[in-house]
Amino acid sequence: MSPEQLEEFRQLLSDEKKRLLQKAAHTIENEIELSKDDMADDADLASALTDQNLSLRLRGRERSLMEKIDLALERIDDGEFGECVVCGEDISVKRLRARPVTTMCIACKEEQERRERLYSN
């Protein structure tokens, strides 16, 4: 992969991490505390708690994505970005643009998903 492409992916990953951090800050500032209006009656409280729970669950998924972003940035620094961790082949740039945190080529990912379906039944 060319240095220009690596820099493109570094920027893409950094921008996504920044966006996720901003969303997390927004959640902390605006969605964690319940106001007195949220507790007017049991139905309002239940609704507010459900909304809060959903927001926190979404942030949990985003935290996981941030960990993957950090690992992808490390892989760029280590010269391993774009290389499949299973077979060692190059991951296509098209796939990396669609999912820059991926660590597997499409063939290995499809095989992993096939095995998961096979063993989950």
Residue with tokens 């096979």: 118
Torsion of CA 92, 108, 65, 61, to 10 degrees: 140
What is the identity of the amino acid at 30?
N
Q: Where are the domains of the chain?
A: 1-81, 82-121
The answer to whether residue 50 scores a pLDDT higher than 60 is: yes
Q: What is the pLDDT of residue 17?
A: 93
Asked whether residue 42 carries a pLDDT value surpassing 60, the answer given is yes
User: Under CATH, which architecture does the 1-81 domain have?
Assistant: Up-down Bundle (1.20)
Helix (H/G/I), strand (E/B), else coil: 2 = coil
Task: Report whether 27 contacts 59 (CB < 8 A).
Answer: yes
Q: How far apart are CA 68 and CA 3, in angstroms?
A: 21
Instruction: Tell me the average pLDDT of the chain.
Output: 85
Q: How high is the pLDDT of residue 90?
A: 97
| Nearest residue to 97 (alpha-carbon basis) of 8, 1, 4 | 8
Q: Tens digits of per-residue pLDDT, 101-113?
A: 999 999 999 999 9
